[in-house]
A and B are shown apart, each in its own frame.
Chain A
Amino acid sequence: MPTTRIKLLQVNAALTLLLLIISFSGCGGLSNPYAGEEGLKVLHNYVSQDPKGLDPVRSSDVLSSSLVAQIYDCLYQHSYLERPFKVEPCLAEGMPEISDDKMTYTIKMKKGVYFQDNPCFAETGGKGRELLAQDFVYSIKRLADVQCDTKGFWLIEGYIQGLDKFYENSQDKEKKTDYSTEVKGLMALDEYTIQIKLTKPYPRLLWVMAMTYTAAVPREAVEYYGDEFINNPVGTGPFILKRWDHWHKIVMDRNPNYRDDYYPETGDGGDEAAGLLEDAGKKLPLVDRVVWTIIKQDQPAWLYFLSGYIDMSGIPKDSWNSAMSSLMSLSPSMEAKGVKLFRYRSYSVGYTAFNMNDELLGMMHPERAAQLITEKREEADKEEDGEKAARLRKEADEIEAGLPNLLEKNAKRRKLRQALSLAYNRPERIEIFANGRAERAHSPIPPEFPCWDPSFINPHTEYNVDKARRLLSEAGYPDGKGPDGKQLELSFETTGSSTTTVQYADFFRQELKKLGIKLDISINTWTEFQKKLDNNTAQVYALAWVADYPDAENFLQLFYGPSGQGAGPNNANYYNPEYDRLFDKLAPLSDFDPEEARMKYELCRQMEIMVTEDCPWILELNYFSYTLCHKWRLNYKPHPFAYNTVKYHNVDPKLRLKLSREWNKPTTWPAYIFLGLVVLLAGMFVYKIKKQSE
């Protein structure tokens, strides 16, 4: 008998059998991607991107903040359960002592708080050392250090004595920033006392002290890891980074050195009924480990959620029907699984920004023009480089030459922007992209936010193509054709992170097509997009802003002139000195003083009108956030500003295992049919061979 032939057959058969056995072993548990978690309480979360580093001073986006906040702690934190939102001590001991003139904050720290163990603590042989006041001085200086690639300096810019100088000095890339220079407004009075001296009252300081930007970072870690520090976080938080497989998963384990921190005993009205006080008084964190799986696409993530492999999820627009039966109620299949729905206002606003420096679309306020002319000429006088000086002078001259037409030009361009805003089909997008769970935005201040005016209607966020066409004509582009007869062309920047963002951009292209305007879409990677924003070279671009703290100033400062040009989050580079003056008046007002709050409200109204008339943004939609949470994931309460909330979560792993096994039984009949076919074919083969041997 020819042995090779039999061997081949046998090998084939054996392999197939082996495969099938492996496949069907552990029926149902097969598609479970988590292994080796017996006896541990593990939370299964997911994120859609690999974070670009876990450094607190760079945590400007929601993703980084969500991760950084579990490892790093700040002086203050948001109260998890209590409403209205307030801040409570975290690493601080009690609320700060504020001087009468509101310019000096003295903060006492908790004693006996230790950093996590890490090889960077060479002196103590790898064991974490105690957290001291100096650490916060160091950490906040880092926030003001350009060389750390800080993204959060704008929050404290101009407020802390001496810190702005520190920031300026750090811009000298030739020298490494010197942290030993004293900053008057940032001092450690003793080992456990920090004193902050302000240049002007800052009612939002405590909110800032609760943001991940101001978390405590040990100097040893930064010096030990150097460039790799962003991959090796070392903090005082409830969790430590156990493992980071880039683009695959992030594992955080409970921090054995974590201080004594307990689950709150009291909450808001409905908390007890919702079972949120079951774990009151227990020591935090409540779980042993958190696993964040990185899943880039929406659909596999959604499938994981449906299978129970991920504890919580949002609802991707394409999966709406399988999750919800109406705007408010879950679908039967969700109900059957015991999934809980959380619906809440997301204090955010999606917008399309116009670069106000742009030739075609932008605005130059006459006051600002005058300012620039003087500034540039002065700088040219001081400038040594002849070429640069000449260029500055030329720029100043150009602005001056444009002065007589300035008002008319501004008016025309304003009409253009308003026209584009009117052409934006919000009702359609609410249907198609948001499944109905959004509303037309009227103001940069989102609904139900402090200082929101429910009666304000923005005439330019209506969907009215007629009006848009008319305004377009008045702006000098009848039917989209400019004075030279050529079609108006605009370039739109967006990130291509998902098909949805691309589809979104294409919708905009269609909407502008109706007006006769050509839109050239450029899909960028996130890094490219950031760079274009930083360097001020995009023309029209899509962004969103999520509130950092419950104060209207957080949205209004997005239009503050000096925060533009890449210096802060004023990505549209809107510069209106009238607006800035109002803002300067508003900034020191506190929400907690009734008289000041009233003044603030009035100022908000004026600023709102200014900004919506000038239309530096196409205000798009205000969303409702929907989060789905499985039965076994406990203690979740949405908090729009706090990111360090994972420590309060609890999980019932047995229930999870049981239910996910139940939900994931494979449908076996197709496999059997397929197997049958294979066996049949193999049989034919053998038969033929046998026949030929005879």
Chain B
Amino acid sequence: MEENKEQPVLDQAEEEPGRSLWGDALYRLRRDKLSVFSFTIIVLYLIVAISAGLGLIATKYDDPFYKADEWEAAGLLKSMSGTIEDGSPADAAIGECLAALDKDGKEAMIRLLPAAVREIAGTGHANLADKLKEIGRRMESTDSYAPPSWKHILGTDIQGRDVFQRVVQGTWISLQVALIMSVIYIVIAVFLGSLAGYFGGWVDDIIQWVYQTLASVPGLLLLISLTFVLGQGLMNVAIALGVVGWVGLCRLMRAEYLKHKERDYVLAAKALGAGHFRIIFRHILPNTFHLVIISFSLGFVSAIMSEVVLTFIGLGAKADEPSWGRMISEARAELARDPAVWWPLAGATAAMFVVCLAFNIFGDSLRDALDPKLKV
């Protein structure tokens, strides 16, 4: 991204050691603050995504939250037991509730609450009984569309689920989709591209025909047809993206292989008796691999964006898969509410934005860094 201002080297005290393409690239990348920053973000993203996938964080993404939780209730009960006579049935009831909470959890306590309310009301503390009843009611009432607060940084969705956790879970889903797609398309592209470039002739003609045909169908339409045909679900989206997206990289690989196959080192390898496939994969491929990496980085963005669009149309994620696409597609109705519910849209869009920006910048920097024309 940065343009290297080349300084004339008039006197050199020492000769700098030569560097490989990669070494050069790394050097340049390290110096570019923006690309370092975006790389950090990418690493963070990967860590978050994998942790979410392993169930280490954001585990409650599918659990509804309620307007009051059991701790609030326990607190209230404890404070009430101070006011209530010791040994009275009301006090016993309170004790039972608290014990049930400790032993069996929230549901058990909720079951015993109505009895406690009755007992307390019986002792004449009507307002306390009401308070308890109210808390009981709130514990069963989902906190639907709660705006962002300390409890939920990004608020809750219609089912009372924490939006922030869903966004985090969405990273894992996006990672899955992007990875699967990448594996599929990279394998196909490298394989076909290298064959086409290296062998030329009729092999090249056929492969060119294949990808030209594929490229002829408008991308989105092809994706839609495929997912339509494969059915709903994120895995199908990933597969479709992979099957559709190999054309670009394939073209690049083909061009590279065309260039490289006439190079000296290839001729040397041939002279030494190396077989075709050995040459393709062991000799030439490492020299062209940088293209794969750049493509992978930029392809990530395309994977995420495409999933969003497909889910919106109704062909992508299923109802219970918390992908960013799903959150954005539900946002449409939510924005029109009064008051507007903007936090799921904001969360998903922001997350997508940060990740895509990082990958875009990094991919760009990588491309610039690996551009041999800029070698000193």
User: Quick check: which of B175-183, B243-251, B334-342 contacts chain A, the rest being far away?
Assistant: B334-342
A408 on the interface (CB 8 Å rule)? no
A258 located at the interface, meaning its Cβ lies under 8 Å from any Cβ of chain B in the complex: no
Top 4 nearest A-B pairs (CB, nearest first) are: A322-B338, A299-B336, A318-B337, A321-B338
* Stretch among A11-19, A137-145, A351-359, A499-507 lining the B interface: A499-507
A257 interface contact, C-beta 8 A: no
Q: Are the CB atoms of A506 and B337 closer together than 8 Å?
A: no
* Complex partner residue of B336 from A302, A428, A431, A506, CB under 8 angstroms: A302
1/0 contact trace for A467-498 toward B, CB 8 Å? 00000000000000000000000000000101
Which residues of chain A are within 8 angstroms of B334 by Cβ–Cβ distance?
318
In the complex, what residue of chain B is closest to A525 when comparing beta carbons?
A: B314
**Which of B62, B107, B159 has the most A CB atoms < 10 Å from its CB?**
B159
Query: Given the complex, which residues of A lie within 8 Å of B62, measured CB to CB?
Result: 510, 513
Number of interface residues of B (CB under 8 A): 24
Bound form: Cα–Cα A513–B159 in Å: 13
What are the residues of chain A within 8 A of B314 when measuring CB–CB? 496, 523
Choice from B141, B142, B330, B339 contacting A499 with Cβ under 8 Å: B330
As a 0/1 sequence over residues 353 to 374 of chain B, the CB contacts with chain A under 8 angstroms (1 = contact) are 0000000000000000000000
Of the candidates A321, A500, A510, the one whose C-beta lies within 8 Å of that of B333 is A500
A465-B314 Cα distance, complex, nearest whole Å: 33
Is A432 positioned at the interface, with any CB of B under 8 Å from its CB? yes
Known: A432-B142, A521-B319. A321 touches B330 (CB 8 A): no
Instruction: Please give the residue numbers on chain A whose beta carbons come within 8 Å of chain B beta carbons, in ascending order.
Output: 297-299, 302-303, 316, 318-322, 428, 431-432, 465-466, 496, 498-500, 502-503, 505-507, 509-510, 513, 521, 523
Most A CB contacts (10 A, CB to CB) among B142, B144, B159, B320 go to B320
Q: Can you name the residue of chain B whose Cβ is closest to the Cβ of A514?
A: B107
What residues on A are CB-neighbors of B141 within 8 Å? 428, 431
Q: In whole angstroms, what is the CA distance A318 to B338 when docked?
A: 7
Q: CB distance A319 to B159 under 8 Å?
A: no
Task: Please give, as numbers and ranges, the residues of chain B lying within 8 Å of A297 by CB-CB distance.
Answer: 332-333
Taking the closest CB of chain B, its distance from the CB of A326, in whole angstroms, is 15
Secondary structure call for the A interface: helix
26 A-B pairs within 8 Å (CB atoms) are namely: A298-B333, A298-B336, A299-B333, A302-B336, A303-B336, A316-B336, A318-B334, A318-B336, A318-B337, A319-B338, A322-B338, A428-B141, A432-B158, A498-B333, A499-B329, A499-B330, A499-B332, A502-B319, A502-B330, A503-B158, A503-B159, A506-B320, A507-B159, A510-B62, A510-B159, A523-B232
Q: Enumerate chain B interface residues (CB-CB to A < 8 A).
A: 62, 64, 107, 111, 141-142, 144, 158-159, 232, 314, 318-320, 329-330, 332-339
> For residue B232, which residues in chain A have a CB less than 8 angstroms away from its CB?
523
User: Across the interface, which residues of B come within 8 angstroms of A316, CB to CB?
Assistant: 333, 336
Q: Which residue of B lies closest to A298 (CB)?
A: B333
Chain B proximity of A39: nearest CB distance (Å): 35
Find out whether the CB atom of A466 lies under 8 angstroms from the CB atom of B111.
yes
Given known contacts A506-B320, A510-B62, what 14 new A-B pairs fall within 8 Å (CB)? A298-B336, A316-B336, A319-B336, A428-B141, A428-B142, A431-B144, A496-B314, A499-B332, A499-B333, A502-B330, A505-B319, A509-B320, A521-B318, A523-B318
> Chain B's nearest CB lies how many Å from the CB of A25?
28
Give the chain A neighbours of B335 by CB distance below 8 A: 299
Contact of A521 among B111, B158, B320, B332 (CB under 8 A): B320
Quick check: A321 and B337 within 8 Å, CB to CB?
yes
* Cα(A641)–Cα(B160), bound, Å: 38
Cross-chain contact B336 with A523 (CB below 8 angstroms)? no
**Complex Cα spacing A607 to B149, Å:** 51
- In the docked arrangement, what's the CA distance between A298 and B337, Å? 11
